[in-house]
Structure 1
Amino acid sequence: MSFKISRWFKNKWLKWLFVFGTTILFFFVGLYFSIYLGFFGELPTTESLGGIKQDQATQVLDKDGALIGKYYIYDRQPLQFKDFPKYLIDALVATEDVRFYEHDGIDNVSLLRVFVKSILLQDRSSGGGSTITLQLAKNLFGRQDFLLFSTVINKFKESIVATRIEEIYSKNEILTLYLNTVPFSDNTYGIESASRKFFNKPASELSISEAATLVGTLKANSFYNPRRNPKNCKKRRNVVFHQMVKYDYLDEEVLDTLVHQDLILNYRSFNHDVGIAPYFREAVKQELAAILDTIKSPEGHSYNLYKDGLIVHTTLDYKMQESAETAVKEHLSQLQSDFELSYGESAPWLKNKSLVESVYKNLPQYKSFKAQGLSDGQIEDSLGLKRDVSLFSWQGDTIRNITIKDSIRHYLKFLNTGMLSIDPTTGAVRTYVGGIDYRYFKYDHISQSERQVGSTFKPFVYTAAIENGMNPCTYFSLSEVTYSNYEDWTPSNSGGKQEDQYVNYTLEKALSNSVNTIAVKVLNDVGIPKVLNQVQKLGVTKALPEEPALALGVAEMNLKELTGAYASYVNQGKPVKPYYITKIEDRAGNLIVDYSPEHSQEKAFSSYTNQVLLEMMKSTVNTGTAQRLRTTYKLKNEIAGKTGTTQDNKDGWFVGITPKLVTVTWVGNDNHSIGFKTTGLGQGANSALPIFAKFYQKLNAAPEFDTITRTQFENPSEQVIEDLDCEPEKRDTFIKRLFSKKKKTKKFKGNK
């Protein structure tokens, strides 16, 4: 025997082969132990693995618990093992690790194949050797680049971690950790997030085909992306089916049916810029960040909005929000077309060079170049190059090769919007549309914008008048008056025509028809200080202009504040402050913050004033400026409201009041120098009212909203009915016209 070994060593090739093999063996053994001892980075201990805590997305839920969005770095939502359908587990094991229940984290048969073929022979077609536990180790701790032998080092590290995981976790717990951390397509982590993204349902409700689809993507989540590569994905799904049959997880009889099923997605992106209610989610995020800055966890650390898996319960109604967004899209897409057509080739974004230049010179890039001392010509050379730009359009986004100025002209033309619906008794926000498309228009017209409110301010003037003793049947002349102590200011009525100076309207008809001349006269009689005091009681905190034009809505207000003020007319005279968040929980469902809104219990006006104003605003809908709700849109709901249009048709408003919902809509151009070309197009009844009308049509068609749409206003008192029982208008008698001297010029006394 010793002779044979001695002879064997005399063969130099066999000797070198032995030395080489022994060296390789010692090298890898030494490498393994050096990794084990932490020379290539500290390995997690058994104790630390026992308390694995993965970053989780914060979930934003609507008032009924429906998921409306997430805040995350990695889009991940964890589940428990009981939440996984059995065929999901079967598909995973059959495809990824058929000996999962037999090994202790390392499948030696597969690992040997990988070592020989993949590492030594560099045969990439040999297949992988990773078990589910090894993949879990990689998912949990990632991989590092060690320049040389990175694959071997990372594999050894993962094998050590996998062995430790198997020591402390059961097989079901390992599957749970794996399915909660494994990366799927489109930057999605965990089966729950993937299920909600690609099929818009929780993982517990996945069908066998859907489960096989998602499991199939794990081999290469880009190549088998169900959204981008559906053909590849379907083929891979069918491979999963065959694997399930091969390993007795699926009956062969159903295979033929399953492989011929179409791949049907119900894709829902949770990208921060898209999806349902993006403006609302951003507003909630801002408020949430402020709240979290003030509190600590029981362990004493600050909460992380993107990693701690918080559960944020909000006031939004998911289905109602869908209706609101659809209504905005339906109306604004048509209004935008009419808007552009009305201007034609004379549009300011095409002809007004100074307008484009003013926007251009306000760009950060321009300011930066200017600060560096570059001339306008040099800046023009730098910024004047054409490049591919994605452009918003109601007909669908397009990519065009254009300059920055071309892009400015494109975006200057767009009308934007703000729409807010609240529960008037609490201020809970039910719908929130801050603009037409959050991807391209980040500015929020609910939380950030302040615009002139136009005639939507008039009810506040009339409220002050009634509250201070003016009889609802007081008559005022339509005639124009010049106020000499305000630079001979002469307010006129919409349309620019001279009104009959001998016709007089009651307060109800004047308000329902939004008569400017009378609104100013009412303000003059009641006094600016009393009106301002009344508005403050309605929750408006900002300073307003103390001038007669206040009656016509020259004040700029925030849409949220305006909505809260109008809520008072169906909340017993008490304004509310719109709010979004009801409570915040940690990832385990433990309460962190419980929010109950605190509203003033002091009435802004009496019940009598409340009823009178509500009846007046009902007339606005039934016979006044908002009557197209009845005639054009055929709404039969109990509705009170007010239209509003500002000077030069810059802003269109509509306030819709129903017993259990108050909605305010605004439409206009973000650039204050661009208004509607005609009043017919830009008036609130045409620009903003249809959004409310289409919104309510959709609510009427949905039985789940019957408690809102079918609720009736409370009947006014007999006193209110009696006080409003007068002819809406009257004409001066011949004798009065003959002998009376109408003063067309007088001083405005309302500021005293």
Structure 2
Amino acid sequence: MAVRKTAKIKELLQRRSPWFRRAVKAIWIFFFVITIGCPLYIVSVKYNFLGLYGEMPSLKSIENPENDLSSDVISADGVSLGRYFSYNRSQVPFNKLSPVLVKTLITSEDIRFKEHSGLDAKALIRAVIGAVTFRSSQIGGGSTLTQQLAKNLFTLNPELDGSLAKLGRVPQRLIRKSKEWIISVYLERHFTKDEILVMYLNTCDFDNNALGIKVAAETYFNKQPDKLNVQESAVLVGMLQSPARFNPKAHPEASFRKRNEVLYKLFKDGYLSRAKYDSTKVLPIDMKFSVQNQNKGLATYFRTVITPELSKWCKENGYNLWESGLKIYTTIDSRMQRYAEEAVAEQMKIQQKKFNEHWKGQNPWIDDNKREIPGFLESRIKQTDYYRELVRKYGERGDSVKIMLNLKKRMTVFTWNGERDTVFSSMDSLRYYKHFLNTGFMSMDPNTGAVKAWVGGINHKYFKYDHVKQGTRQPGSTFKPFVYGTAMDQGYNPNQTFLDISPTFTLVGGGTWRPANSDGKYGTGEKLTLRQALAQSKNTITAQLLQRVGIDNVVNFAKAAGITSPLDPVPTLCLGVSDVSLYELVGGYSTFVNLGIHTEPFYITRIEDKNGNVVASFSPKIHGEAMNEHTAYKMVYMLRGGVEEEGGSSQALSKAVKEDNEVGGKTGTTSNASDGWYMGITHDLVSGAWVGGDERSIHYRSWSLGQGGSTARPIWDRYMQKVYADRSLEYKKGQFRRPSTPLDMTLDVSQYPADSTYDDKDYNDPNK
């Protein structure tokens, strides 16, 4: 009977149609492909069999994934001042993500993220169905967050493609997807779910050069990732599928719809109540958009100036400033930097209005005879890159260059009331910007050398040149303290009296020179103390001191105090004719306040790598005793005279700064008023301001309008008001440090050096 049944089954099988046999064969082939072929394929991809598939990332690189990271410049109070980046990306740890952001991401992009091991079978089946039915957008994709992280980190790297990938897009995509699966499994084995999630968010592109969730939150909402609310989280998560398409800045309506789709998923999942969902979905996208670049943020000029120094350090130590994710800690205080930038903006807006009214209908570039310089703009346009580009294209002698320079085009220009769109030619633009006054401001702690604020100009986007350290100009009377300091060092006393009479210098090349005071007169014959003379900025008495103490000694004293620019050993040195930088002057005045110890201004304290390891530490460079403490304190007392003496150039400072406070200061103005300066000192802050045109020929016609007391002093005063109003700052009102040993500054003529230049009859002779 059994034999009969077997024969019957055999007969039935033989009666089956050919399609049945083919189906059985296909099933066996499918079985072998799944059980043997797929594993073999995966192994061959993993080990790059015959070089067909391209190299896989090493296990080490998977465990320590590398991606380009921006380097962050951080203030002394822990605020990011800005970044150096090729791709603007910055890492954030998991504990700095808002819980609502994490929930939104998982709910919207990978609901089974906590359950799967890198690959989600249900999602893969769903993706296949979507592809077959052409409903992928409705059904969803098959990639998990882990797979998307693998793609972000490795699989899109063309350097990892093998020879098969060159056959076309289909094999390339298949191989890359296979690598994505393999890497996903490795990631799941070597990282926790939280680590995978935060790595994913740190590597996502959010358009507008915002790579990573930290930069995205800052760019679109001016927030840190741990402060994002549910609607903001939904906007950013919604961008993940197509950053450009759902960019809330470029496509607000599409972003709004996508945000609400994400919110609906949260409602379906039970995270949002019906009431919360209904109220949230109607809210507009409250965006605070700001693309990050070197023209944005605090201390833009400072970051630009220190770039070469940082780049040099990175090159010497094997880092890339733009891609290594360094953290560069500085001495800049973000609050003080903000106050400095505010003070500059407030006062320069006022100053520019005065300047425009002063030159209304006229051009401000003038020669020594106060006549407009002919061909000024034509000569300056030839110094631009655009002009040189046109010459290369059209030749220097043709009319095409001139035509292009005068061709009108749309552009955005700087104004003190915000950017303005206009239609200008290149010549129009040059003429427009040459009418602006510019500025520089720096503030430092004289006791530590730490630079606390640095403003190199009025707007970094439109005026790139730094007027703190890069630019040097004639300091005018702000150089006089180094002449008086030399005298104090030689034993002079602030209370010694001199007559206001101009001395005569015999010049090396022949002829003589006599300095006049700012009023154009050669003195009044009035008897003044040295403190009064400095307070009133008497050129005549400063010149007398220069004759007595020796020009070379003044040069050496200034160098020891911190002036590094070349100083010409000529009689006019006493009036500040040798160019110096604001950076040098602030450092030099700080030497007085620091009781004679010259500490070079410094601004970088340490550098950390992307993992938080300190790779470099920096300390202030202390150059030792530039002058004895008695000399230094005499000069502090002398500079206080500008505030305390009748007729002092600093008496106009606000009560808010002077009251219950020891303050010193010195104005400075060049002879044609092209440079206005103010240097102010307190017991714990030395700050300086410069105001002038980017070119020396651009200035007020009136000396009184362009003097430092009118242009630069208000910036310093406003800055100090803001600093003192902030009780969170350590910088308070107080008294200057006194020398460790007593100092008698009463008038005792016997202690002074012999008068080698004048006697009593000389002082009474107006011809001498």
Counterpart of 1:69 (choices 75, 82, 87) is 82
Relative distance call for 1:720 and 1:395 in structure 2 (3 A) is farther
- 1:424 pairs, out of 439, 442, 446, with 446
Q: Which residue of 1 aligns with 2:364?
A: 348
Q: Is 2:303 aligned against 1:281?
A: yes
- SS of 1:575 mapped into structure 2: strand
Shift of 1:4: 5.5
- Aligned partner of 1:138 in structure 2 is 151
Letter in 2 for 1:84: L
Give the secondary structure class of the aligned counterpart of 1:723.
coil
Q: Deviations over 1:671-701 (max 9, x none)?
A: 1221222122210011111111111111122
Q: Provide the residue aligned with 1:361 in structure 2.
A: 382
Contact kept, 8 Å, 2:656 with 2:721, in 1: the verdict is: no
* Contact 1:630–1:636 (CA under 8 A) maintained in structure 2: no
Q: 2:19 & 2:763 partners in 1: Cα distance?
A: 140
Cα displacement (A) at 1:308: 1.9
Q: Distance in 2 between matches of 1:122 and 1:42?
A: 34
2:466 to 427, 441, 444: 444
Q: CA deviation at 1:386?
A: 2.7
Q: Distance in 1 between matches of 2:512 and 2:397?
A: 47
Does the 8 A contact of 1:512 with 1:616 survive in 2?
yes
Match of residue 336, structure 1, among 352, 356, 363 = 352
Residue 649 (structure 1) aligned with residue 673 (structure 2): yes
From the superposition, tell whether residues 222 and 524 of structure 1 become closer, same or farther in structure 2 (CA, over 3 Å).
same
1:4-24 per-residue CA deviation (whole Å, 9 max, x = no partner) reads 5337899xxx9xx99xx99x9
Match of 1:457 among 447, 465, 479: 479
Please, which runs of 5 or more residues in structure 1 have no aligned partner? 296-301, 726-735, 746-752
The answer to whether the Cα contact below 8 Å between 2:595 and 2:630 also exists between their aligned partners in 1 is: no
1:178 correspondence with 2:190: no
| Secondary structure, aligned partner of 1:91 | helix
Q: CA deviation at 1:165?
A: 3.0
Secondary structure of residue in 1 paired with 2:678: strand
Relative to structure 1, the CA distance from residue 29 to residue 294 in structure 2 (aligned partners, 3 Å threshold; closer, same or farther) is closer
Stretches of structure 2 lacking an aligned partner (at least 5 in a row) = 1-12, 159-164, 367-371, 750-759
- Counterpart of 2:321 in structure 1 is 305
Secondary structure of 1:330's aligned partner? helix
Cα deviation, 1:57-99, whole Å, max 9, x if unaligned, reads: 2221111222222222222233343443333222111101112
For residues 332-411 of structure 1, the aligned pairs below 5 Å read: 332-348=348-364, 352-367=373-388, 370=391, 374-375=396-397, 377-411=399-433
The answer to whether the Cα contact below 8 Å between 1:136 and 1:178 also exists between their aligned partners in 2 is yes
Aligned to 1:5: 17
The offset of 1:339, in angstroms, is 0.8
Deviations 1:343-379 (A, max 9, x none): 1112136964411011112223434555785315343
Do residues 543 (structure 1) and 555 (structure 2) align? no
Instruction: Tell me, in whole angstroms, the C-alpha distance in 2 between the residues paired with 1:412 and 1:205.
Output: 44
Instruction: Tell me how far 1:253 sits from its aligned partner.
Output: 5.2
Q: 1:480 to 1:68 in 2, by over 3 A?
A: same
Question: Which stretch shifts more, 153-162 or 61-70?
Answer: 153-162
- Cα 1:675/1:306, change in 2 over 3 Å: same
Instruction: Tell me: CA distance 1:659–1:376, structure 2 relative to 1, closer, same or farther (3 Å).
Output: farther
Worse-matched range after superposition: 226-235 or 384-393: 226-235
Compared CA separation, residues 371 and 156, structure 1 to 2 (3 A): closer
- TM-fit CA distance, 1:401: 2.6
The match for 2:337 among 321, 343, 357 is 321
Query: Which residue identity does 1:71 align to in structure 2?
Result: Y
Q: 1:580 aligns with which of 600, 603, 608?
A: 603
Residue 128 of structure 1 aligns with an amino acid whose one-letter code is G
1:380-399 superposed Cα distances (whole Å, 9 cap, x missing partner): 23444333232222111123
Alpha-carbon separation, structure 2, partners of 1:119 and 1:379: 60
Shift, 1:509, TM fit? 1.1
Partner of 1:731: none
Q: What is the CA distance between 1:32 and its match in structure 2?
A: 7.0
Amino acid at match of 2:590: A
* SS at 1:511 equivalent: helix
**Counterparts in 2 of 1:73 and 1:142: CA distance versus 1, 3 Å:** farther
Measured on the aligned residues, the alpha-carbon RMSD in Å equals: 3.5
Separation of aligned partners in 2, 1:308 and 1:740: 68
Q: Which amino acid aligns with 1:445?
A: H
Offset at residue 514 of structure 1 (A): 0.7
CA contact (8 A) 1:608 1:720 kept: no
Match of 1:590 in 2: 613
The Cα shift of 1:275 comes to 0.9
Contact 2:82 2:296 in 1 (8 A): no
Normalising by structure 1, what TM-score? Answer: 0.87
Q: Residue 562 of structure 1 aligns to a residue in which SS?
A: helix
Contact 1:269 1:275 in 2 (8 A): no
**Pair 230,685 (structure 1): closer, same or farther in 2 beyond 3 Å:** farther
2:4 aligned residue: none
Q: Secondary structure at the match of 1:601?
A: strand
CA distance in 2, matches of 1:366, 1:9: 80
My pick for the range that moved more, 150-159 or 689-698, is 150-159
Identify the range of structure 1 (358-367 vs 332-341) with the bigger mean alpha-carbon deviation: 358-367
Q: Which amino acid aligns with 2:579?
A: E
Determine the structure 2 residue equivalent to 1:291: 313
SS at match of 2:548: helix
Tell me, yes or no, if the aligned pair for 2:220 and 2:288 is still in contact at 8 Å.
Answer: yes
> Structure 2 vs 1, CA of residues 116 and 31 (structure 1 numbering), >3 Å: closer, same or farther?
farther
> How far apart, in 1, do the equivalents of 2:535 and 2:556 lie?
23
Aligned length: 716
Q: Secondary structure at the match of 1:63?
A: coil
Q: CA deviation at 1:126?
A: 5.5
For residues 323-360 of structure 1, the C-alpha deviation after alignment (integer angstroms, 9 at most, x for no partner) is: 10011111111111111210111213696441101111
Q: CA deviation at 1:550?
A: 0.6
CA distance in 2, matches of 1:167, 1:634: 66
Give the one of 730, 733, 737 matched to 1:710: 733
- Contact 2:209 2:291 (C-alpha < 8 Å) held by counterparts: no
Distance 1:261 1:82 in 2: 28
8 Å contact from structure 1 (residues 419, 434) kept in 2: yes
Compare 272-281 and 500-509 and name the one that shifted more. Answer: 500-509
Change (3 A) 1:80 1:347: closer
Shift of 1:229: 4.7
SS in 2 for 1:642: strand
The question of 1:506 aligning with 2:522 is answered no
- 1:316–1:429 Cα contact (<8 Å) kept: yes
Question: Does the 8 A contact of 2:470 with 2:581 survive in 1?
Answer: yes
Q: Partner residue of 2:112?
A: 99
After the TM superposition, which residues 552-631 of structure 1 pair with which residues of structure 2 at under 5 Å, given as runs? 552-602=575-625, 604-622=626-644, 623=646, 624-630=648-654
C-alpha contact 2:522 2:540 (8 A) present in aligned 1: no
**Partner of 1:385: helix, strand, or coil?**
coil
Distance 1:173 1:348, change over 3 A: closer
1:527 deviation in Å?
Answer: 1.6
SS of the equivalent of 2:102 reads helix
Q: 1:60 aligns with which of 68, 73, 77?
A: 73
Equivalence for 2:720: 696
- Please say if residues 56 and 308 of structure 1, whose CA atoms lie closer than 8 Å, have aligned partners that are also in contact: yes
Task: Indicate if the aligned counterparts of 1:583 and 1:593 stay in contact, CA closer than 8 A.
Answer: yes
Tell me the distance in 2 between the aligned counterparts of 1:224 and 1:331: 42
1:728 is aligned to none
Mapped partners of 2:113, 2:633: distance in 1: 73
Aligned residue in 2 for 1:128:
141
In 1, Cα distance between equivalents of 2:223 and 2:527: 62
Q: Which residue of 2 aligns with 1:41?
A: 54
Structure 1 position 242, deviation (Å) = 2.2
State the alpha-carbon separation in 1 of the partners of residues 612 and 379 from structure 2: 51
CA-to-aligned-CA distance 1:455-509 (integer Å, 9 cap, x gap): 001111111112212343333333445545463333222133x366332222111
Amino acid at match of 1:589: G
